[in-house]
A and B are shown apart, each in its own frame.
Chain A
Amino acid sequence: MSISDLLKFGNKRPDEPEPGAGSDAPAPKGPEPVIPSKALEKFINALKHNEAPVLIDFGPVIGTNVAFFGEHLGCKLYIEDLATEIDKHTRDKSRAALAETLAKRFTMADASVDGVLCWDIFDFLEHPAAKAVAREVVRVLRPGGAVMGFFCTKPIDRAPFTKYEIVEASSSLRHRHHPGTGGPKFVLQNRDIIKMFDGISVSESFLLKSNTREILLRRRA
């Protein structure tokens, strides 16, 4: 390959597939880690103020989480499983259309939701798609409602999807591999997050040892 080729294709062969396209991302090796979460407890406390809170979960469905939120907290849950949507668009090579799809996806009425569990889904979205989802979150969130999201601090070329299982009296999360294409992880700066969620404000932010930022956003009651 000549230097001009390298310049032309940005050090990537033209026939090289996009990272994450087609095949499943490799699962992380070793046991699934259980990591304490500081934002989760505060998120749950925010939900407890409501009698029958309405909750959206952007992650893949997990039976124990459903039992926890549905039976213990009496939530009505909406499982949106955006990882599957991202996976589908990656396999179809239609990630450019993801923003448009996600903008139309949420059927909830304005100000009808008490909590949104974003997990790390925003890391996997390009900026337009992330903005579209954030706009919908702001639209559906009730006054007093809470949003919890995890945001990476370093970009990753390709990461597998993770699903987060609530364990140990709701203070820790088991990080479990979720099969799928995964994809690149993009970094959103704090100011980007504040701008994206215009209308709701960051109430808590924690930097974990894993360099993940756990951010809790609240809409004023």
Chain B
Amino acid sequence: MWKRDDAVKPAPPGGGPAAAGTGQSAQNNLNTSPAPEAVRSSDQARGMEKGPVNIGKSVVIKGELTGSEDLTIEGHVEGKIELRQNVLTIGPNGRIKAQVFAKSVVNLGEETGNVTASEKVDLRDNGSVDGDIAAPRVAIAEGAHFRGSIDMQRAGAKPGEAPKAAEGAKPAAPAAAPPPAQQTAPAPATAGPR
């Protein structure tokens, strides 16, 4: 009883059980301290959180996707993607039908919708964009497909602000308005099969 507070304290660094005291105290420590294996696995989990986040091929997300870490999409995303300070990579299997706002976008897959990046849009070989790009730097590789407008003047474009067409232009056909959110997936997103 009188040692209960000590018993719930976190385990000392190293993950080993606290020094065994008398009878009940030792028993409490054994019951509440994480086992070395458990500690190791939680460290691994923490390590995964810090690593790149990947939305796998089989994952379909409809709605708004926001986050504050780099993200790679190999699955399907429809709606809106906001990674204000981070890099979005659309993998070769990625299929995006969304408005995208990010620091940088690297596209090796298919994107339909407007892309706004505060630093750079990199459209790689076999990558495809149908929509408007607003970014201070745009790189388009040989073999990439693009249809839409490119505006490099809006340096430091604020994410969240959609690129405008020419003054008084009719609404651009490829602009994908976000559908009502059916599923919100806050980053870190579910990892699918790679």
Interface residues in chain A, defined as those with a beta carbon under 8 Å from any beta carbon in chain B: 52, 54, 61-63, 66-67, 70-71, 74, 76-81, 84, 107-109, 112-113
Contacts and interface: CB of A to CB of B under 8 A. Distances in A.
Contacts, number: 67
A76 B149 contact: yes
B157 to A, nearest CB: 13
Contacts of A80: 147
A102 to B, nearest CB: 13
A78 B168 contact: no
B148 interface: yes
Interface residues on B, range: 20 to 34
B169 A112 contact: yes
B22 interface: no
Per DSSP, are chain B's interface residues mostly helix, strand or loop, or mixed?
loop
24 contacts: A54-B166, A61-B140, A62-B140, A63-B144, A66-B138, A67-B139, A74-B152, A76-B149, A76-B166, A77-B149, A79-B146, A79-B148, A79-B150, A81-B145, A84-B145, A107-B169, A107-B172, A108-B169, A109-B166, A109-B167, A112-B166, A112-B167, A112-B168, A113-B166
Given A67-B139, A70-B138, A79-B148, 11 more contacts: A62-B140, A63-B144, A66-B138, A70-B150, A76-B150, A77-B149, A79-B150, A80-B147, A81-B147, A84-B145, A107-B170
Contacts of A52: 153
**Most chain A beta carbons < 10 A, residue from B165, B170, B171:** B165
A67 B140 CA distance: 9
**Most chain A beta carbons < 10 A, residue from B144, B167, B169, B170:** B169
Nearest to A62: B140
